[in-house]
Amino acid sequence: MAAPADPTAYARVAAERDLLAAVLHGAGLLLVVFDRAGSVVLLNGACEAVTGLTAAEAIGSPAWELFMSESDGGVFRTELAKARPSDFPVHREHLWIGSHGNRHRIAWTYTALLDGDGAITHVVGAGTDVTEQRSAEAALRQRAETDPLTGVPNRAAFESALAAHLDPEMGLGCGLLFCDVDGFKAVNDTYGHGVGDQVLIGITQRLRSTVRDSDLVARLGGDEFVILLPGVGSIEVRALAARIERVVRRPHPVGEVTVKVGMSIGVRVADAGDEPAEVLREADAAMYAVKARRGRRALTVA
């Protein structure tokens, strides 16, 4: 007859199990365990809070069907199917989509659990919600690349875009308008910088309403603007420059005053492989050639 089990040992095992469960569900980290096929076998309280799913609702279903975006889920499924013990730990960042459509960026570290033969039986994910951090980083990038007065991209953002369009391997070339406001100094001297700022804002709005959604309007500083036009030739660039000159010459009402300014525009059509800095210099020189023609609004194509 078998000896009765030691009740003290049972109690100790139960206490350890309860303690482990409390640690898993009370941890600040998101903890999730998948089996070799990718189905959820454990989901802690932090994961429940992010996904809006209870552990009972999640267990037994593949992670990519529950809360991963389509692209992230496809990558995770493929990597898990090919994973070897030597591949771990793995660091990944996924977009998790909750049951109510809420979205979170989660930075994960995945580790593997192995059986006695060294084969993967489960994968444990420990995650940190980095949604706010990524949003803050995006806001900082936007501020760093945005002109604070007009809200359009600044010089740094424009130079990055120009370099991408002129990339010798991936670029398609572009048209470029280098624009300088005529008579702007007189506006500032006569009415003050407050009115001058409003005129610049109004010019920006007119430029953006004149170009296509795919075009980039940027302010380099002062009264200088550039417009990047993907996939256009000299005929289209000439026509747009003429329209912009007409649009900017229309009166600008600012409070109780109405001011008139013009715009000198230098044009450059660039091909992939052209040097971005040189393209910008040539467009700038073309603009000054136009401005030097005292009162004329002719175009110069570099």
Q: Specify the residue for token string 């802690």.
A: 44
Average pLDDT for 97-104: 87
Which residues are 145's β-sheet partners?
none
Q: What is the pLDDT of residues 185-243, one digit of tens each?
A: 999 999 999 999 999 999 999 999 999 999 999 999 999 999 999 989 899 999 999 99
Determine, yes or no, domain membership for 250: yes
Task: Give yes or no: residues 178 and 100 share one domain.
Answer: no
CA dihedral 25, 26, 30, 35 (to 10 degrees): -20
Q: Please state the pTM of the whole predicted model.
A: 0.64
Which residue range is the domain that position 250 belongs to? 152-301
Average pLDDT for 56-62: 93
**pLDDT value at 63 more than 90:** no
Kindly tell me the number of DSSP H helices and DSSP E strands found in the chain. Answer: 11, 12
**pLDDT value at 266 more than 50:** yes
Task: Give yes or no: residues 80 and 117 share one domain.
Answer: yes
Determine, yes or no, domain membership for 143: no
Q: Where are the alpha helices (DSSP H) in 70-227?
A: 70-82, 131-144, 155-165, 184-191, 193-210
pLDDT grade, residue 295 (50/70/90)?
low
pLDDT grade, residue 19 (50/70/90)?
very low
CATH number at residue 79: 3.30.450.20
pLDDT grade, residue 299 (50/70/90)?
very low
Average pLDDT for 102-110: 92
Report, in angstroms and rounded to the nearest whole number, the Rg of the chain calculated over CA atoms: 31
Distances (CA, A) of 63 to 76, 139, 202, 242, 274: 9, 30, 50, 56, 47
Phi (first) and psi of residue 106, to 5 degrees? -120, 125
Average pLDDT for 253-263: 94
